[in-house]
Amino acid sequence: MDTYSQIVVASRPTGTPTSKNFRVETGPIPAAADGQVLLRTKYLSLDPYMRGRMNDAKSYATPVSIGGIMEGEVVAEVLKSKHPDYRQGDLVQGRIGWRTHAAVEPTDLKRVETGGNPATTALGVLGMPGFTAYSGMKVIGQPKPGETVVVAAASGPVGSLVGQLAQLSGARAIGIAGGPEKCAYMRDELKFDAVIDHRADDMPEALAKSCPDGIDVYFENVGGPIWQAVLPLLNRYARIPACGLIAHYNGPGAAEQDSLSSTMLAMVRRSLLMRGFINTEFVDDHYDDFMRDLIPLVACGHIRYREDIVDGLNNAPEAFIGMLSGRNFGKLLIRVS
Ligand code: NDP
């Protein structure tokens, strides 16, 4: 690869993004100045939060500007170093965005440290999504032996770890996902105690049947009709780590209901604890424990993960759009080089 490519936001999406909202730009590979490293991206992580960065709206992070490079974390190789701490061939991770190369000061980079697990895990089960599941469960969910934990988007990197951590703490894990293939994977490989297909007409009834003792922890990744089905089943003192609402990221859907009053009433009557969070707020207190606990569990296969790897940076927009409707199956990565 001797030219450089990057993908920028061409226009703001209305509803579901289309390929027209992105633009591929090419040019000569940049040179590293003194104090910089030249990186070649190996893997780019595609994550649901990126949809929010495409909106010009106030949030916990600033949006990507029109013409700006799409934001994202990568695993990259140092091609050239003009910084004393890095050498050619070093493997690093950092938020350099959707591009093949970058010449940057290494202040926000860190070395890939996965304890012998594949480097791709630094973007998934041993990276930001894994830490999100770990910290959300540890700080907010706090599952106890015998309790029932429910999670949706359960075949993805956040949900699949939530379910496995629930089981490690002695709780029952119920996973919700779209379609029979994902459900079979969760049942047969991840060993969830029960799995529910949210595309099936009888989803609320199937969920109720799988939770005869109610729900003690609902790890919220999705919202929408799944939240409607979960709400009546929540037990007194249930905990709800509010992690994401992917069913709403493309704007209001046809089936959307306003559930604010029913949610608030349930919170009062059943003393529910709902706590929203962004994983970064827990880094200082919990990141070292996460790495110490998870690296060996992943290495010995006790914690399982699945990756969905798409080749070529130019395919990132389609893969990203597909993820927002469930076309990915596992942690979505672009193999850039
Ligand atoms: P996934 O890889 O699981 O991909 C998203 C999945 O969401 C899709 O595959 C699809 O799975 C499911 N989905 C999409 N639309 C719907 C819908 N309308 N109804 C039900 N399911 C839907 O993503 P991640 O594991 O990376 O992220 C999961 C959640 O965690 C997201 O909400 C994300 O924003 C959030 N998150 C929050 C963080 C934080 O710090 N708070 C950090 C990281 C992630 P299916 O086919 O099963 O429907």
Q: What is the CATH number of the domain that holds 24?
A: 3.90.180.10
Confidence tier at 93 by pLDDT (50, 70, 90): very high
Are 321 and 232 found together in one domain? no
Query: If we measure between CA atoms, which residue out of 63, 308, 16, 334 comes closest to residue 181?
Result: 308
Confidence of residue 182 (pLDDT cuts 50, 70, 90): very high
Residue 127: pLDDT over 60: yes
pLDDT confidence bin for 255, thresholds 50/70/90: low
Do 75 and 188 belong together in one domain? no
State in Å: Cα 325 to ligand 1 middle: 9
Over residues 65-86, mean pLDDT: 97
Do residue 132 and residue 272 come from a single domain?
yes
In this structure, the answer to whether residues 275 and 142 fall within a common structural domain is yes
Q: For the residues 253-271, what does the mean pLDDT come to?
A: 86
The Cα-based distances of 251 to 19, 52, 61, 205 in angstroms read 18, 10, 18, 27
| pLDDT value at 89 more than 80 | yes
- For 295-312, the pLDDT digits (tens) are 999 999 999 999 999 999
Q: Give the number of other CB atoms < 10 A from CB of residue 63.
A: 17
55, 160, 183, 221, best to mutate for ligand 1 pocket (most atoms within 8 Å of CB): 221
Q: Please report, rounded to a whole number, the percentage of residues in the chain having pLDDT higher than 90.
A: 94
Residue 47, Cα to own-chain centre: how many angstroms? 5
pLDDT of residue 252: 77
pLDDT at 137: 98
CATH number reported for the structural domain that contains residue 162 in this entry = 3.40.50.720
Asked if residue 314 and residue 271 are part of one domain, the reply reads: no
Question: Residue 326, Cβ neighbours under 10 Å: how many?
Answer: 17
What distance in angstroms lies between residue 157's CA and the mean position of ligand 1's atoms?
9
Residue 288: inside a domain:
no
Question: Cβ < 6 Å from ligand 1: which residues?
Answer: 47-49, 129, 132, 152-153, 155-159, 177-178, 182, 198, 221-222, 224, 226, 243-244, 246-247, 277-279, 323, 325-326, 328, 332
Determine the average pLDDT of the residues in 203-211.
Answer: 98
Distance 274 CA to ligand 1 centre (A): 18
Residue 152 near residue 222 (C-beta atoms within 8 A): yes
In terms of pLDDT, which residue wins out, 58 or 313? 313
Which atom number of ligand 1 is nearest to the Cα of residue 129? Answer: 43
* CB within 8 Å of 151: residues ≥ 6 apart: 159, 162, 163, 166, 173, 174, 175, 176, 218, 219, 221
Tell me the C-alpha distance between 8 and 70, whole Å.
Answer: 5
Residue 239 has pLDDT above 70, yes or no: yes
Q: Mean per-residue pLDDT for 203-219?
A: 98
- Helices assigned H by DSSP within the chain: 49-53, 128-135, 157-168, 180-188, 203-210, 224-230, 260-269, 283-299, 316-323
The mean pLDDT value for 68-72 works out to 98
Confidence at 57, pLDDT banded by 50, 70, 90: confident
Indicate whether 44 belongs to any domain: yes
Burial of 84 (0-12, 13-18, 19+ CB in 10 A): exposed
pLDDT at 102: 97
So what's the pLDDT on residue 256?
65
Q: Would residue 12 count as lying in a domain?
A: yes
Partners of 33 in the β-ladder? none
Please indicate, yes or no, if residue 296 is contained in any of the structural domains.
Answer: no
The answer to whether position 292 is within a domain reads no
The boundaries of the domain holding residue 63 are 3-115+306-335
Inside any domain, residue 123? no
- pLDDT beyond 60 at 254: no
Residue with the larger pLDDT of the pair 251 and 209: 209
**What is the pLDDT averaged over residues 54-66?**
89
Q: Output phi, psi for 140, to 5 deg.
A: -110, -50
Same structural domain, 89 and 139: no
User: Given ligand 1 and candidates 50, 95, 158, 197, which is best to mutate, with the most ligand atoms within 8 Å of its CB?
Assistant: 158
Instruction: Quote the percentage of the chain above a pLDDT of 70.
Output: 99
Residue 213 belongs to a domain: yes
Does residue 250 share a domain with residue 204?
Answer: yes
- For residues 216 and 248, membership in a common domain is answered with yes
**Total count of domains within the chain:** 2
| pLDDT level of residue 1 (50, 70, 90 thresholds) | low
Expressed in angstroms, the distance from the first to the final Cα of the chain is: 8
If one compares 42 and 259, the residue with the highest pLDDT of the two is 42
Shared domain check, 269 and 132: yes
Question: Do 25 and 161 fall into the same domain?
Answer: no
Mean pLDDT, the chain, integer: 96
Q: List, as own/partner pairs, every contact residues 58-61 make where C-beta atoms lie below 8 angstroms and the sequence separation is at least 24, other chains included.
A: 60/278
Residue 284 counted as domain residue: no
What's the pTM value of the predicted model, to 2 decimals? 0.97
Q: Are residues 132 and 274 in the same domain?
A: yes
Kindly state whether residues 146 and 73 are assigned to the same domain: no
- Per-residue pLDDT, averaged over 61-90, amounts to 96
